[in-house]
Amino acid sequence: MGIHKTITVNAQPNYEVIIGNDILDTIKINETVNQVAIIYTSHVEKIAKKVSKLITKMGFVVTEIKVPNSEIAKNIDVIGNCWNKLGKSKFTRSDLVVAIGGGATTDLAGFVAATWLRGIDFISIPTTLLGMVDAAVGGKTGINTASGKNLVGAFHNPIQVIVDLDNLKSLNKHDFTTGMAEVVKCGFIADERILHIIENYPQECKKYDGVEIPELVTRSIQVKADTVAKDFKETSSSKTGREILNYGHTLAHAIEKNEKYKWRHGDAVSVGMVFAAELALADGKLAPEIVQRHRDILKLVGLPISYKFGNFKKLIEIMALDKKSRGATLRFVILEDIAQPARLENPSFKVLNQAWERVSK
Ligand SMILES: NC(=O)c1ccc[n+]([C@@H]2O[C@H](COP(=O)([O-])OP(=O)(O)OC[C@H]3O[C@@H](n4cnc5c(N)ncnc54)[C@H](O)[C@@H]3O)[C@@H](O)[C@H]2O)c1
Ligand SMILES: [Zn+2]
């Protein structure tokens, strides 16, 4: 019980990510704040009510804004409703938004905060594993449009992130498992200790209250915090820029699109990481044992390691259009070793196909 660790993210200004159990009362609200809007979904209503009570007790006026669950909430109509509610309650620049939910909700609520009066403060309380280790830290907020996912958004940092692991209790098993894909990713790109923990205590990494979960979540958030502190707006071209967080994501985005988003993000990232490892092997950059280690670890946590689909050329076309590949160049984050990410641009079809054959069977 209590705080496990506090991570300070280097930003302007710095903000704290507090990780622990039963820590909702660590929420810090400035005295200059008058009103607080809590943006949440029905799946986390209990948590939202608890936070609402806490904040009301602290003497602030609370407006509760319930938004639809998951991805469908990330659209202009829902944003419009949120703006209307802030307008009706006369929210000023010194007021505050609190986001409670998965990555979709924190992305949406963060964007509401980023845009209201050109930016007001917000606190993020992520309630999915993916939200905790990925979406809530790093300052990317946004919504989807008819042109694609996350194409409209803003960089807007929270002023505090509360990662209360007790909030994972109601999360379904599959959502928990898919969140582990980003944890494994952090292990491969930056922190081998994460991989050791999963290899040594796989059972403790499969349940939200496993003894290793606080450590895994903390280490993953640290990786994200360190990476975004160095490259907030993803402009760095160095080997350690924010782009490394995209490990496994080039093929993953193509799978998600190809499957019309019926595949969960983490499942696609899992296959994408095996593919990236196979690419690095085919290109002579990575040892076969490390490729095998990808498969072993991802299997241990219950993630998929293959994707059976007959039209690789179609996937290549989708990958070439991926916004993260900058222009029409095919571009992958690969590893040269554990915690040694590198970039692979325009690999030959032979290399691509060799890797594909090994993930598609
Ligand atoms: N901003 C970033 O840097 C960043 C990074 C990664 C992903 N994302 C975004 O995150 C989103 C995906 O996030 P996600 O995987 O958390 O999905 P999600 O937010 O859609 O949540 C999945 C489902 O779980 C429900 N839920 C959330 N917490 C729960 C809980 N504790 N108990 C029971 N149900 C709960 C949600 O209401 C939803 O129905 C995507 O929109 C993606 O674009 C953003
Ligand atoms: Zn991801």
CATH of the domain at 32: 3.40.50.1970
Name the least confident of 97-106, 236-245, 319-328, 336-345: 319-328
Question: Please, which pLDDT band fits residue 210 given cuts at 50, 70 and 90?
Answer: very high
Percent of the chain with pLDDT over 90: 93
Write the CB contacts of 326 (distance below 8 Å, at least 6 apart in sequence). none
**Residue to substitute in 111, 128, 186, 207 for testing ligand 1 pocket (most ligand atoms within 8 angstroms of CB):** 128
Domain termination residue (choose one: 132, 147, 170): 170
CATH of the domain at 325: 1.20.1090.10
- Asked if the model's pLDDT at residue 52 lies above 90, the reply is yes
Q: Are residues 146 and 201 in the same domain?
A: no
pLDDT in tens, 269-312: 999 999 999 999 999 999 999 999 999 999 999 999 999 999 99
Q: Are residues 207 and 319 in the same domain?
A: yes
Q: Are residues 127 and 230 in the same domain?
A: no
Percent of the chain with pLDDT over 70: 98
Tell if the pTM clears 0.85, that is, is over it: yes
- Asked if the model's pLDDT at residue 114 lies above 90, the reply is yes
Report residues whose beta carbon is within 6 angstroms of any ligand 1 atom. 41, 43-44, 69-71, 74, 101-105, 107, 127-128, 130-131, 134-135, 138, 140, 150, 167-168, 170-171, 175
Higher-confidence residue of 324 and 235: namely: 235
Q: Are residues 189 and 86 in the same domain?
A: no
Q: Are residues 150 and 293 in the same domain?
A: no
pLDDT at 230: 87
Q: Which atom of ligand 1 is nearest to the CA of 41?
A: 37
Structural domain that includes position 251: 173-359
Q: Provide the number of structural domains found in the chain.
A: 2
pLDDT at 235: 81
Q: Are residues 125 and 203 in the same domain?
A: no
Instruction: Name the maximum alpha-carbon separation found in the chain.
Output: 64
Q: Whose CA is nearest to atom 12 of ligand 1?
A: 103
348: CA distance to ligand 1 center in Å? 36
Domain termination residue (choose one: 152, 170, 188): 170
183: CA distance to ligand 2 center in Å? 10
Q: Are residues 61 and 116 in the same domain?
A: yes
Q: Are residues 139 and 182 in the same domain?
A: no
Domain termination residue (choose one: 170, 187, 211): 170
Q: Are residues 312 and 189 in the same domain?
A: yes
